[in-house]
Structure 1
Amino acid sequence: MMDLDMTTIDIEAARAILRANDRGGYTVPTDRLYPFQWNWDSAFVAMGWATFDKERAWRELERLVEGQWDDGMVPHIVFHAPSDDYFPGPDVWRTRHAIPTSGITQPPVFATALRRVFEIARGPDAQARAARLYRCALASHDWWEKARDPEATGLVAILHPWESGMDNSPAWDEAMARLTIAPTTPIRRRDTSHIGAEMRPRDEDYRRFIALVDLYAGLGWEPAAMWRASPFKLVDVATNAILQKAEEDLLALAAQFGTEAERRRIEARMARRAAAFARLWSEERRIYQARDLCTGTTVDASTSAGLLPLFAGIPSAGQAAALAAELEDWLAKVPYPVPSTSPLDPRFEPKRYWRGPIWAVVNFMIAEGFERYGHAALASRIHLATQTLMRDGGIAEYFDPTSGDGLGGSQFSWTAAIRLMIDQAVVAGPAREKM
C-alpha cells in the first residue's frame, strides 16, 4: 500500500495537472498533443474537478455543450481556440458550426458526469445549472437513438472508429481493411512529432480515419445520409454500455428535472438495450463482442470494451462471474490490469494505443462494474493497480500492462481525474440511492 505522504503528494500532483491544462473553463487532455476540448475526456475531468473545485466542474460541462449541435449531438472535439499542434483541425472537418467542432461524437459519459457533479457540487445555483444541463444530456441521448439506431434495434452503432474513443482497437481491423475509399485531404500527422510512432496508430489507420471524415464531410454531416453511405457501421460494446449507464443516470436526473413522458422514454430505451445486449454475448469467449452491421457478423476480438457492460448492470450474475474468470486468464499473462486488448490475442501490442495499453478511465469503469456485482476484491485490485501505475509510471495517457511504464502523452488530464476520484472516494458507489 502507498503511505499517506505519497498519497498526499499524488493528489496534489493530480490537481496541479488539471490546473495546468485549464484553458479558461475547459480542460485540454494534455498540452500540445491534444490542444482542444474532447468530449468523454471532459466528462471524466469534470468529475475530477468536482473533488476539489465545484465551480470548475460545472464550467467543464457547460463549456462542452457550447459545441452541442441543434440536433442534440455532442461532438467529440470542440475547437474553442486555434492551434496547429493537432490534425485534423476545423478546416478538415468542415462542419460549419457556430463554434468549430468535429462532425462525429464519442462515448456519452456526459449524463453520468452531470449526475455525479450535481450530487457533489450542491451550491446555491446547482439546481438551475443541473436542470439546463439535463436538457442537453436528454437531447444527446435522443440523438443517439435517432441517428445511430434508426432501425430501432435497441443498440446504437458507430460510424467512425474515433466515435468509440478506442481508435485503433483490433475490433475495427476487419471493417477498416475493407475500406476502398481514399482520403482527399492530405495527411499531416502532428501526433508523432510529440510522442513515439510506436505508441500511436499506424499511418494506414490514419489514411482510413481521414477517408471516412472526407466521406461524411461531403455529405454535409447529415445523419441519415451518413447512415446510408457508411462503409463502417459497428455496434460497439463500450459505447452501448456507457450509454446504458448514462441512461440510468439520466433517469435519476429526470426524476427531478424531467417529465413523466421523458422518464418513460428513457426507461423504454434502457429495456430495449438491455434485452438487445444478449446478441453481443459470447459464451465461448466469456466476453461481450462487437457486431459488424455491414456483414451481420460478430467481431472476433476480445478487448477491455467487452467488460464494460458490468458498468451498466447488464450481465447476469453468471455472466459477471465469467467475465471475472476471463480477466483472470488475461492477468496470468500480464501483471497489470486491464489491458485494452486480450494478451491472449496475437494482435496484442502492449505499447500501441488501444491495442494493448491500460487506460485509467476504462479501469475505473470496469472496477465500478465488478463492485456492482459483488466482486469487491477484483474491483479493489484494479483500483490499487491503477494507483500504482500512476505512482510509478506518472500521470500518463496510458500504461504498458507488461512493464507498468507510462506511455503516450504526459501530465494527462483524465488520468489525473481518475487519480482524484479513486483516492478521495467522492464518487458514490453503484448502490447509491436515487436523488
Structure 2
Amino acid sequence: MTSLDEQARAILRKNDRGGYTVPTDGLYPYQWNWDSAFAAWGFATFDPPRAWAELETLMASQWDDGMVPHIIFHKVDPGYFPGPDVWATHRSPPTSGISQPPVAATLARLIWEMDTEGGHSHMAALFPKLLRWHRWWHETRCTYGPAAITHPWESGRDNCPDWDIGMEGVDGSRAGDYTRRDTGHVDPSMRPRKAEYDRYIAIVQFGVEVGWDQARIVAEGPFLMADPGITFILLRAHEDLAAIGRALNEDVTEIEAWAAQLRSALPTIWNPALGAYDAKNLRTGEFANVLGSGAFLAYLADASNPELEAHLMRVWDAVTYGIPSADPEAEVFDPRRYWRGPTWPVVNALMAIGFRDAGRHDLDARLRRETVELIQKNGFAEYFDPNDATPCGGANFTWTAAIWLTWAGLGLEKAKGAA
C-alpha cells in the first residue's frame, strides 16, 4: 500500500510542468501565484533545488511595477476560461492583471530554514524581487491603510461572503457570452454561480479598458475592498521578509516601516458590531458584517485577541473537520460551495503557523489532527465539507499534498511505521 507521504510526493511530481507546478490537472492548467508558493514548500521536503526553481519561475513573470500576477499562462490551454486573450495584459508569457495573497516571503523563509546550506544564493537572488513585490503591495494596495483587493480573485478566497456587498455594485450585465470550463471539471454546485462570474468578468473588462493601470483601477474600478486575510498575510510576510533581509545583511528599514504602518491600520478593519476583523467596502465605508476564515488569519500575524478567539472556537466547534471558511451559523454558510463554508487544508496550515508561533500548541494539534483525518478519509482534495469530510473541488491537489508533507502529515507516516 502506497503511503500518504508517497502519494503526496507523486502528486507534486505529476503536477510539475518543468519549473512550475499546476494546482491540478484539467481544472487549473496554469501557474497560480500562491498555489506555487505552497508547491515550493512541499518540494522543499524532498527536492530543495526544485523548490527554489518554483519560486524563481514565479518571480520571473514579475511586472515592471513590482506586481507578481495571480496567473501565469506558460502554455495556451483552451480548456480554461478566462484565458490570456480575456486578460489582454500583453505580457510574455501572458499573465492575469491582478495579484494574489503574498505568502511567498513567509514560505521562502521556511524553505530556507529547511535548506540552510544550499539555499543562501537562491534566497539572495529572490530577496530584491520579493522586496519589489512588497513595495507594490504597500504603494498600490495599502493606500487606505489595510490591504485592499480590486477583484475577489485577488484575495485567493474568490467567492467568500466577505465580498458580497462589494459585488453588489458591479454591473455584470455586459459581460457578454462566454463558456465556463470550471463547471465541466467539478460539480457546478461547488463553484461560484453565473451571476457572480458575470461580475468577475466585468471587473476584468474594466482592467483591460484602462490598460491595467493599477492606480486607475484602485481609484475608479468597480470593486475595492479591504481584505483582512491579505492584510494579515502581508503583515506576516513583511516581518518574514525583514528577517530574511537581516540574515542577508540587507537594510530592512523600509520593510519594518511597512509592517509598522500595516499593523497600525488593523483597528480600521475591526468591526465592533461583529466583534471581529471584517472586510470593508472602501467605496462606501460599509463593513461586510461577515465572519470568515480571513479574520482568523489574524493568528498568522500575531493579531488575535480574546474576543476573536471566542468566535474562532464557536465557529470551529460547530463543525467536525477543520476551520470553515464561513460562519456555520450564518445564512450564507454553504458547506460545499467553494469559499462559502468548506474547510481548506491550505488555510488550516497558515493558521497553524500562527498557532505554533503563539505557543498555542493545543490549537495546532487539534487542527492538524482534523486535517489529517480529512486527507486520510478522502485524499488530497482541493477543499472539504467541514461537516462530513466530503471531498470538493479538484482532486490530487498540489497545495493539499504540499501541506501534508510540511505540516499535517509531518512525521505521521514514520510514527505509524515504528508503532
2:382 is matched with which residue? 397
The CA distance in 2 between the partners of 1:240 and 1:412, in whole Å, is 26
Amino acid at match of 2:163: W
More divergent stretch after superposition (335-344 vs 279-288) = 279-288
Match of 1:249 in 2: 240
CA drift of 1:372 comes to 2.6
Asked whether 1:128 is paired with 2:82, we answer no
How many pairs does the alignment contain? Answer: 411
User: Does structure 1 conserve the Cα–Cα contact (< 8 Å) formed by 2:172 and 2:195?
Assistant: no
CA distance in structure 1 between the partners assigned to 2:102 and 2:322 by the alignment: 24
Per-residue deviation, 1:402: 1.1
- For residue 160 of structure 1, the aligned residue among 127, 131, 151 is 151
- Who is 1:115 aligned against? 109
Question: Separation in 2 of the partners of 1:237 and 1:331?
Answer: 19
Of the candidates 30, 38, 44, which is equivalent to residue 32 of structure 2?
38
AA partner of residue 402 (structure 2):
A
1:363 aligned counterpart, secondary structure: helix
From 374, 378, 385, the counterpart of 2:363: 378
1:349 aligns with 2:339: no
Write the deviation string for residues 262-309 of structure 1: whole angstroms up to 9, x where unpaired: x11111111111111012223453421111110112211000111001
Instruction: Report what 1:218 is aligned to.
Output: 209
Amino acid in structure 1 at the alignment position of 2:377: D
Q: CA deviation at 1:179?
A: 1.4
Matched with 2:299 is: 310
Partner SS for 2:149: coil
- Contact (CA 8 Å) 1:33, 1:194: kept in 2 or not? yes
Confirm or deny that 1:424 pairs with 2:410.
yes
Matched, 1:323 2:316: no
C-alpha separation in 2, matches of 1:47 and 1:411: 17
* Matched letter for residue 371 of structure 1: R
Q: Report the CA distance between 1:371 and its aligned residue.
A: 2.7
Q: Give the Cα separation in 1 of the matches to 2:357 and 2:116.
A: 25
One-letter amino acid of the counterpart of residue 378, structure 1: L
Residues 300-331 of structure 1: per-residue CA shift (max 9 Å, x gap)? 1000111001101123xxx1x33332122123
Letter in 2 for 1:230: G
Select the residue among 55, 70, 73 that pairs with 1:79.
73
Q: Does 1:148 align with 2:141?
A: yes
The one-character-per-residue Cα deviations of 1:160-212 (angstroms, maximum 9, x if unpaired) are: 00000011011111111121254445322000001110000001111000000
Conserved? CA contact 2:164–2:288, under 8 Å: no
Q: Give the corresponding residue for 1:21.
A: 15
Matches within 5 A, 1:201-280: 201-257=192-248, 259-260=250-251, 263-280=252-269
Q: Report matched runs for 1:288-303 at 5 Å.
A: 288-303=277-292
CA separation of 1:220/1:258 partners in 2, compared to 1, >3 Å: closer, same or farther? Answer: farther
Deviations, residues 228-268 of structure 1 (Å, cap 9, x unaligned): 211211010001100011111100111133632xx111111
Q: Secondary structure at the match of 2:123?
A: helix
Deviation at 1:411, TM superposition (A): 0.2
* TM-score, normalised with respect to structure 2: 0.95
Identity %, equivalent residues: 45
Give the SS at the match of 1:81. Answer: coil
Give ranges in structure 1 of 5+ residues lacking alignment: 1-5, 427-435
Q: Secondary structure at the match of 1:285?
A: coil
Report the 3-state secondary structure (helix = DSSP H, G, I; strand = E; otherwise coil) of the residue aligned with 1:298: coil
The root-mean-square deviation of aligned C-alpha atoms, in Å, is 1.6
Determine which of 170, 180, 183 is the counterpart of 1:192: 183
Deviation at 1:131, TM superposition (A): 1.0
Give the conservation status (yes or no) of the 8 Å contact 1:341–1:348: yes
Quick one: which amino acid aligns to residue 267 of structure 2? A
- Partner Cα separation in structure 2 for residue 425 and residue 213 of structure 1: 44
Structure 1 length-normalised TM: 0.91
1:392-417 Cα offsets, whole Å, 9 max, x none, are 02100000011111111000000000
CA distance in 2 between partners of 1:201 and 1:49 (Å):
31
C-alpha deviation, 1:354, in angstroms: 0.2
Q: Deviations over 1:205-234 (max 9, x none)?
A: 110000000011110001111112112110
Partners of 2:175 and 2:198 within 8 A in 1? no
Structure 2: give runs of 5+ residues left out of the alignment.
413-419
